[in-house]
Structure 1
C-alpha cells in the first residue's frame, strides 16, 4: 500500500464518521427548531408546582353544512336576535293628560266688567277682560287650587276637562266665565334617554305620544352603527332589549313610550374569529388580528371568509373548513341529531364546509354567522411534510461534503 493511499484511507476512516455525526446533530437541531407558535408543552410544565388534572375532551357534534342544517341553524340565529316584548308597548297617546308635578297655567275670562275678576267701570284701567292665575304645580294629591273654585282635581285629566270643571264652579259668581288651562312645564311625562347617545337627555312626552325612535332622535341619535347598538327599555321593574336596526325596520319594535320609561343604548360589537390556514395577520390592509366585526345586521359564512382574506392558497385544505359554535339543542334535534349523550341546552358543534365543491359557495352564502363564531381552516396534508423538508434543505451541502470525503 502506498503512502498516499494509506493517508487517504485513514482520512476517510477518521473524517467521514465525524462529518456524519455532525450531520446527524444538525438534523436533530433542525427538528428541534421547527417553526412554532409558542413554547412546547414540556417547556411550559417544567418546574410547575401544581398541575391541573387531565380532563376528558369536550364532547361535540360534527355536521356537514347541508341545506337542512342551514335552515335549522338560521332559524335559531334569527330567534337569538333580541326583540322587544310587545307587552311593554305604551299607550298610543297620552291625550295631553296632566300629571303630578306638572306646572299648570290658568286664565279666566269674563263677559263684562263688574264681575268676580274684572273691575267695574271707573276702576283701575286694565288691558282686557281676563285675569291670569299664577302658575302652580300639581300637588302630590293630584289637585290644584283656583280662587273661588277651591281644590280642583287635575292629575289624570286633560286641560280641557279641568277648564270645564273650573267654569262650572265659577258660573254662580263670575259674569259668563270662560276658562283656559294649559300645561306650562310638563314634568310628569318625561322619558330618560341615556347611554351611547350623542346628547343624553330627558324627553317630554307630547300630547300625541312619543315613540321610541323619536326619543332616541331627541337624544342626538346613536353614536354607533344601528346593527351593533342594543336598545334597552326599562319600564318599572321590567326590562326588554332590541337592536336599533330592528327598531328602524320592524314597526312593533318602535312602541309608544310611557312616563318614567328609561331608554339606554349600549354599543355591543359583534365579531368572529378566523384561525388556521388563512392569510397571515397584517396582510389585509394592515389588520394585525384575526378578529373581525360584523358590518351589517347579518353576515354569511361566505362573506365572513371573504372579509378575512379567504383561504391561503399555499397552505389551506379547501375540503376542511370548520365553523365552531355553541348550537341550541332544539336546532340540532330539528336536524335529526341524536343528543342522548349530551347535557344542557347548548351543544358544542362543528359545521364542516367543503369549499372544494362547486355548491359550497351557494350553501355558505346562505349560512348566517353569529357573534363569537370561530372559522378554522385546516392545512393541506402535504404542508407539514413540505415544512419539514424545507427545514432540512440546509443540510444537503453537508451531505455532499461527506460524500466527497468518502471518495478519497
Structure 2
C-alpha cells in the first residue's frame, strides 16, 4: 500500500496537512489563520466606491438656463396692425422657430441684431429682446421658449438600455434620472456600476447605492460622460467543490458560504467540511490587525481556515467576506485517499489475476 501511495494517486490539490506545513510557524511563507468573529471583522473590507466632494457639492443646473447649442423659439406680438416690424401687414404675431444659440452664445433677431443668450434664463432673454425691439415697434410683447437642444448634454455608454447623447432637461438633471432616461441598464443591477467622468475626474458608484442613498444622486453637468459597467471582480473555486472555475461576483458583498453555494456547494462524496480554505494576498494593515502585530510591511500571504463542522462554523462562513482575486479551496476528506489507494490495489490485483488466468489458459 505504501508503494501505491508513493506513486502519487490523483487528487484535486494539497491536503490539510500539506497546507498547514506551509505556515510561517513551520518555516513556510504563509500565515494560516482560523476564522473567528474577530478575524471576520478585521477582514471585512468592501470596495470603496463613491464621488469626490466636487461631484457631491455641485448644485443642480437651472432647467431654464440657456447654453450654446440650445434651440429657442421666440414669439413677438406687436401693438401695431397696419405695418408690423416683423410680420406681414395685418399680422401682429411673428414666431421665430428653432433659433440655435451659436458657439459664442449668441442668437440673431431681425432688427435687434445679435443678442447674447447663453447663461441667461428665457425671462432675462425675453426682457433683452423686448428692449432691443422697443425703439422700432412700440411695447412689443415677447415670449422665449427653450427647446431641448445639444447645448447641455451628457453621453451615456456601456450597458445602458439606449446609448447616446442626452440633453440635461428639467426631468433629467440628476444621475439616476438620466440613467432612467437612457432605458436603465441591461445587466444585473446587483453588479452594475455607474461611472461618471467630468473635467478629467472620475467617480463611480454601485447602481443600487445610487438609488438607496440620495446623496450619491449627483447633479449633472454639460459634457459629463456616464458609463454603465459590470463588476469585474471574481474568485477562483478549486478542490472538492461542485464546480472548479473562475467565478464572477453576483452581488456587492459575497460571503464564503455564498461563494460555495454559487459553485454548487461541497462535493458530498469528496469534500472535507473541516478543510475549507481561502487563499489571499492581504495588505499589511489588515494582516497586522488579523495577527495582532504591527511589524509587517507589504502584502502578506494569508490562508484563512473555515471548519464548517464547528458549532459556529456556518455562521463564520456566512460572515466572512470573499474579496476579488481570492482562491476558495476545499480539501478532500482523508478517507477519499484511502478509497483511491484501495481501489488502486484492488485494480492491480484484479489486473494480475486476469493476466495470470490468460497465461494459464495458454
> Which interval holds the TM-score relative to the shorter structure?
0.7 to 0.9
Bigger radius of gyration, 1 or 2?
1
CA distance in structure 1 between the aligned counterparts of 2:90 and 2:141, rounded to whole angstroms? 21
Out of 68, 71, 78, the residue aligned to residue 103 of structure 1 is 71
2:52 matched residue in structure 1: 85
Secondary structure class of the residue paired with 2:304 = strand
2:320 matched residue in structure 1: 367
Where does structure 1 lack aligned partners over 5 or more consecutive residues? Answer: 1-23, 39-56, 282-288, 403-408
Report the Cα offset of residue 92 of structure 1.
Answer: 1.6
Secondary structure class of the residue paired with 1:335 = helix
CA distance in structure 2 between the aligned counterparts of 1:152 and 1:243, rounded to whole angstroms? 44
The alignment covers a number of residue pairs equal to: 341
CA distance in structure 2 between the aligned counterparts of 1:61 and 1:297, rounded to whole angstroms? 27
Q: Is the 8 A contact 1:72 1:334 kept in 2?
A: yes
1:324 matched residue in structure 2: 279
Show the 5 A alignment for 1:150-189.
Answer: 150-189=113-152
Report the Cα offset of residue 269 of structure 1.
Answer: 4.5
Change (3 A) 1:348 1:252: farther
1:21 matched residue in structure 2: none
Out of 204, 213, 216, the residue aligned to residue 250 of structure 1 is 213
Secondary structure class of the residue paired with 1:113 = coil
Q: Is the 8 A contact 2:159 2:228 kept in 1?
A: yes
Report the Cα offset of residue 336 of structure 1.
Answer: 4.4
CA distance in structure 1 between the aligned counterparts of 2:270 and 2:97, rounded to whole angstroms? 83
CA distance in structure 2 between the aligned counterparts of 1:253 and 1:227, rounded to whole angstroms? 17
For the aligned residue pairs, the C-alpha RMSD in angstroms reads 3.2
Per-residue CA deviation, residues 79-120 of structure 1 (Å, 9 max, x unaligned), is x2422334224432323111112222222112342565277x
Per-residue CA deviation, residues 326-379 of structure 1 (Å, 9 max, x unaligned), is 323222333343363x442x3322111111201111121112222332111122
The question of 1:71 aligning with 2:41 is answered yes
CA distance in structure 2 between the aligned counterparts of 1:36 and 1:351, rounded to whole angstroms? 21
Q: Is the 8 A contact 1:191 1:260 kept in 2?
A: yes
Secondary structure class of the residue paired with 1:83 = coil
Q: Is the 8 A contact 1:193 1:200 kept in 2?
A: yes
Where does structure 2 lack aligned partners over 5 or more consecutive residues? Answer: 14-26, 357-362
Change (3 A) 1:335 1:33: closer
CA distance in structure 1 between the aligned counterparts of 2:231 and 2:194, rounded to whole angstroms? 10
Q: Is the 8 A contact 1:301 1:367 kept in 2?
A: yes
Change (3 A) 1:204 1:323: same
Q: Is the 8 A contact 1:324 1:349 kept in 2?
A: yes
Q: Is the 8 A contact 2:171 2:177 kept in 1?
A: no
Change (3 A) 1:380 1:185: closer
Secondary structure class of the residue paired with 2:277 = strand
Report the Cα offset of residue 301 of structure 1.
Answer: 1.2
1:218 matched residue in structure 2: 181
CA distance in structure 2 between the aligned counterparts of 1:310 and 1:135, rounded to whole angstroms? 63
TM-score, with structure 2 as normaliser:
0.82
CA distance in structure 2 between the aligned counterparts of 1:331 and 1:30, rounded to whole angstroms? 40
Secondary structure class of the residue paired with 1:358 = coil
Per-residue CA deviation, residues 158-186 of structure 1 (Å, 9 max, x unaligned), is 11101011222333332221111122341
CA distance in structure 1 between the aligned counterparts of 2:287 and 2:330, rounded to whole angstroms? 23
Out of 277, 302, 315, the residue aligned to residue 257 of structure 2 is 302
The question of 1:335 aligning with 2:297 is answered no
The question of 1:312 aligning with 2:267 is answered yes
CA distance in structure 1 between the aligned counterparts of 2:157 and 2:171, rounded to whole angstroms? 23
Report the Cα offset of residue 216 of structure 1.
Answer: 1.8
The question of 1:35 aligning with 2:10 is answered yes
Out of 74, 85, 89, the residue aligned to residue 117 of structure 1 is 85
